[in-house]
Amino acid sequence: MEHRTEELDEIEKYCMNGKSLIVYNHRDRSPKNQYDKKIIQLQSFLPQGEPIRVLRYKRISVRDYIFLPLKKHARLFNELFSYLTNPPFDFLFEEYLAK
């Protein structure tokens, strides 16, 4: 990682202690590839390469909810994503794929 912050240290601490996290993030004005890189770097905090997922609130100002789920919570988060990205909430939320 290029730049460590207190926030990253805190995220890493919770992940190392066996916690699943949801990180709230306002979309900044950086280019997409830089913004995605910030999201993708959180992957390193999850054990065994568990995948991160991003739920984007797409109304007014873009806000992302970055999910760092442990395997034991994956089903719960999958259900949540399905619920929020289908009618009647799909006009508010979509899954964002950071590349």
- Least-confidence region, from 10-14, 26-30, 56-60, 64-68: 26-30
49-72 pLDDT per residue, tens:
678 999 999 888 889 999 999 888
The DSSP letter of residue 65 is: E
User: Is 63 within 8 Å of 25 (Cβ atoms)?
Assistant: yes
* CA dist., res. 66 & res. 72, Å (int): 17
**Average pLDDT taken over every residue of the chain:** 88
Alpha carbon 80 to its chain's center = 13
Q: What's the domain count of the chain? A: 1
Domain that includes residue 85, residue range = 6-96
- Please indicate, yes or no, if residue 1 is contained in any of the structural domains: no
- Please indicate, yes or no, if residue 12 is contained in any of the structural domains: yes
Strand partners, 64: 25, 56
Would you say residue 84 has pLDDT above 50?
yes
Confidence of residue 3 (pLDDT cuts 50, 70, 90): low
